[in-house]
Amino acid sequence: MSELDLRRASSVDEALTIMRDEGRTPIAGATDLYVAAQFGTLVPRKLLDIWKLKELRTIGTAADGQTLVIGALSTYTDLMQSAVVQDRLPMLVTAARLVGGVQIQNRGTIGGNIVNGSPAGDTLPVFAAADAVVVLRSLRGERRVPFNEFYAGYRKTVIKPDELLIAVETPSIDGIQAFRKVGTRAAQAISKIAMAAVRDPKRPRIAFGSLAATVVRVPKTEAALASGNSIDEAAAVLEAEINPIDDVRSTAVYRKRVAVNLLRWFWKETAPA
């Protein structure tokens, strides 16, 4: 790693200036970037350490008292310990608990998970199902991008090289939330498939990770559930709607089967008494 050129920023403004002037790539918890560096697949050589920017490590509600605002540098441990996240977005706490081991939970950040953009990123289905909004900032200004428009393709995002992810905003959510991850074992496993779901009586929302090149919502299946179709009918819609990938972690056939089973599990678990 010593061949890497790393400099530190002491404020968000300084970071944005350095990113504009020197074209440096931000590095947060390094749990993706340093693995890539070890593998020899890390392309950027000029890095900007943003780990200590406390301004980005806050969790709270916006002025409306409703919107949950999670700073980009919040770690999985921060999420698990946050009362407001436990209260408003419990599916994110479940997802955080299932990431890596404690060492990774202490360093891995949501900003890194989102911008790294692996379709196996475990917070991605949560933010997709939550209709979250990503706050991006550069010296040119700040913009808000709906999370479901943030990915342009496999590991491609709409973030510009001079932009920092500042925070993720989640509107308040009606209905029971759930997160399930299927991997090879309980700890430290990359998802073969993950699902985040919200049983909003009016607008049920289902998102899958590791199913396609990016995290996906399943609007047809959601519509079937919303219109009161039986779970069998909704499961059939889901089967027709998704077209999973085949890769080293699992096959398309397996993923389709598991996706349907996860949907059935969710609907049964959250059925009104």
Partner 1 sequence: MKFTLNGKATEVNASPAARLLDVLREDCGLTGTKEGCGEGECGACSVLIDGEVVCSCLVPFAQADNAEVLTIEGLNGTHPLQKLFMDEVGAQCGICTPGMIIAAMTLGEKPTLDEVKVALAGNLCRCTGYSAIYRAIMKWRGMPLPDESSSAVTA
For binding to partner 1 (CB under 8 A), which residues are involved? 1-8, 27, 29-31, 34-35, 38-39, 47, 49, 51-52, 77, 100-104, 106-107, 185-188
The answer to whether the CB of 201 falls within 8 A of the CB of 175 is yes
We find the least distance from the C-beta atom of residue 3 to partner 1, in angstroms, to be 8
The answer to whether the CB of 176 falls within 8 A of the CB of 198 is yes
Q: Is the dihedral of CA 267, 224, 154, 249 positive or negative?
A: positive
User: What is the DSSP code (8-state) at residue 139?
Assistant: T
Query: Should residue 108 be labelled a site residue for ligand FAD when binding is judged by CB under 6 A?
Result: yes
The answer to whether the CB of 95 falls within 8 A of the CB of 196 is yes
We find the least distance from the C-beta atom of residue 186 to ligand FAD, in angstroms, to be 11
Query: Should residue 211 be labelled a site residue for ligand FAD when binding is judged by CB under 6 A?
Result: no
Helix (H, G, I), strand (E, B) or coil at 176: strand
Contact of residue 164 among partner 1, ligand FAD, none (CB under 5-8 Å per partner type)? ligand FAD
User: What is the DSSP code (8-state) at residue 144?
Assistant: E
Q: Write out the binding residues for ligand FAD, residues 117-146 only, by CB under 6 A.
A: 121-122
Query: Should residue 115 be labelled a site residue for ligand FAD when binding is judged by CB under 6 A?
Result: yes
We find the least distance from the C-beta atom of residue 249 to partner 1, in angstroms, to be 15
Counting DSSP H helices and E strands in the chain, the numbers are 11, 14
Contact of residue 200 among partner 1, ligand FAD, none (CB under 5-8 Å per partner type)? none
We find the least distance from the C-beta atom of residue 187 to ligand FAD, in angstroms, to be 9
The answer to whether the CB of 159 falls within 8 A of the CB of 149 is no
Contact of residue 165 among ligand FAD, partner 1, none (CB under 5-8 Å per partner type)? ligand FAD
The answer to whether the CB of 199 falls within 8 A of the CB of 265 is no
Contact of residue 111 among ligand FAD, partner 1, none (CB under 5-8 Å per partner type)? ligand FAD
What residues line the site for ligand FAD (CB under 6 A)?
25-33, 35, 72, 99-100, 104, 107-109, 111-113, 115-116, 121-122, 164-165, 188
